[in-house]
Amino acid sequence: MLNLFRNKAAYMGTAVMALLCLVVVAISVRVSLTIIQRKSQIVTVKPQESKKEFKHIKLVNVGKLKEQSFIFNGMEEEAKAFAENRENVFVPFDTILDKLGVDYRYFEPDDALECRFNQQKMVVWMGQGSFRYGERTITLNTAPVAAKGHILVPLELLSGIDGFSMDYQEEAGRVFVNYYGDYKKGLDGYKLLKQVESQAFVTDITGRQLKWSNMTTDVNLPESYEMSPTGSRCIIRTGEGVYMLKGGSGSISFLADIPPGASWSADGKYLYWIDRDKETSFLYDISADAVKELGDYYFRLKAEADNEYLVYGADRLLDYGEYGDVKRVALTNKAYEGNYTFVESEKGLLFKGSVSYSPDRSRMLYHIKGNGYYVANADGSENYFLGDCIEAEWVNNSEIFIRSYEGDTYTVSDNGRDRAEVSDLQRQVGRTEKGDVFYTGRGFLWCESQGVKKQLLPLNFPCDFVYAVSAEGPYLIVSNEMDQVFIGLEDGTVYKLLGYNSLLAGIDFKNRAFADCKTLGISPDRRYAVLLVKKEDLVSLVSVDVVGLKGIQEKDRAGAVKEIVLNLSPQEALDGRLKTLWISGRRLMVFTDRKGWIVELGENPRLFSWSEGEGTQIAGILP
């Protein structure tokens, strides 16, 4: 009996041990599966601090979760987000941590994830109504859950951590999450111009520190704000009068003698306005801090029959110059399309009519009906007759392209004396703010910089426009005929980037001096080029690492070109007057009147985004 008892006990012990082994194996398999699901992160089983009970926590019904596209820092991920409804949206937190290079551990018994995020200890408990971040315990309305092969956390969890920004597009089934922990770096001096209801405000970039606001509530976008063409100043029109906000110092001054109707000149040097009661016009010279009466040019032009050049009015100042007792006044319209120029001395009128200025504004090219084309200095002196022809257009500061009635094409020097026959179309295709001029001819792209002409790139395609910030490149080259945007490098290589018609907005090829380049950009250090494009119903920022592009084959350039998807539709972008502003060599701001993004370019882009509240609009951002 004793032996039998012992044998039974042994059998039972063996059975218990076998059962325990099976349990251990099951746990091991479960842990192994967990490790696989968590992308090989180490899982350590150890006791965790006790979890609090939350009576009103929402537990998600995993079966009702629907897949959503997940875009993290502008890149669409293979991992999916999930949503039960608009209130219950979940994102794969383990994927976010992997992308950010953050190590984490998942504790099986406690069903909790632990990591160090921003040098803070972070614990996220599944099925519980809070998470620990540093010394804080932050309450949640909806519990995180381990499901669908991921650690799914509600968007509200991310909103408790500085640097995260998010958006859910329910109809499109897309969840955007961005993380840029130190997005405020280097932004202390930037000023955000806002309209809240109908009052003007100037704040820091976060919108939390008020710098200035006006007293009245009669501000209305876009009429009340006008940024200077250089982007360094802004005038704000209010019921009290006109204020000027300067970039850099951030000073705000009240312009007592300037009426609300004043507007910027094309070069940003003056404010110009018309006094219709007195039938005269004035300008405010910003550098001299002086008001000057110009005269009745607007009214004289309005009364003349040859105002065909300014079909949308002539209430803007294109250019103003003084040369001893001679002054030149050039008027244009709001779109800067066309101009009408008066050149007068104390003795009387020297010239009037529509002119084409050389890029440096030192010379004028003009046509007299029934006679032909002339070229003269900006003060009207040294007139030279070029002859009658079909077409005459500035190529650079010293050459004019001519097409005769017989079909001959040639270039003429700016004094009209030297002529050279050419076999192809030569024309100006772009300028930099520094005054460098880009032009085409003889199968090449050329640049005139400080009076020196240089051959840049071979062109085997028609070139309509070039955008650059320096004569040294890189060059964004647009061909309307080829429906292509290329990038040219200083070493002479040219790469295809994308279709011209995929750009968010077209370019005014007829008015290249004032072409809208909001869709093209190059960083101040010339390391990155960016293009804003339409991608189905979203806007993407395509960034090109110029250094990474050099010396590689076109088929291998994918690593140097990144497409960053923004939570913005093309229509929102155009209606909201999309703008870009460089912060540094790899950081820029993209903003409309309702949304904004701070973007850091690189191998792994980082983004922070925000949306203005109801009744609030962004008028501009000043550095």
What is the reported pTM? 0.85
Kindly tell me if the per-residue pLDDT of 50 is higher than 60. Answer: no
Query: Is the omega angle on the peptide bond into residue 222 within 30 degrees of 0, that is, cis?
Result: yes
Angstrom CA distances, 158 to 90, 117, 139, 178, 195, stand at 10, 12, 12, 10, 29
Average pLDDT estimate for 192-196: 88
Query: What is d(CA 99, CA 102) in angstroms, rounded to the nearest whole number?
Result: 8
**What does the block give as tokens for 156?**
């509200």
Average pLDDT estimate for 77-99: 95
**What does the block give as tokens for 18?**
């076998």
The three-state secondary structure class of 162 is coil
Angstrom CA distances, 374 to 43, 308, 422, stand at 82, 20, 20
Mean pLDDT of the chain: 85
**Res. 595 pLDDT band, cuts 50 70 90:** very high
pLDDT (0 to 100) of residue 555: 61
**Higher-confidence residue: 409 or 92?**
92
Kindly tell me if the per-residue pLDDT of 417 is higher than 70. Answer: yes
The closest alpha carbon to 517, from 565, 564, 578, belongs to 578
Average pLDDT estimate for 586-613: 94
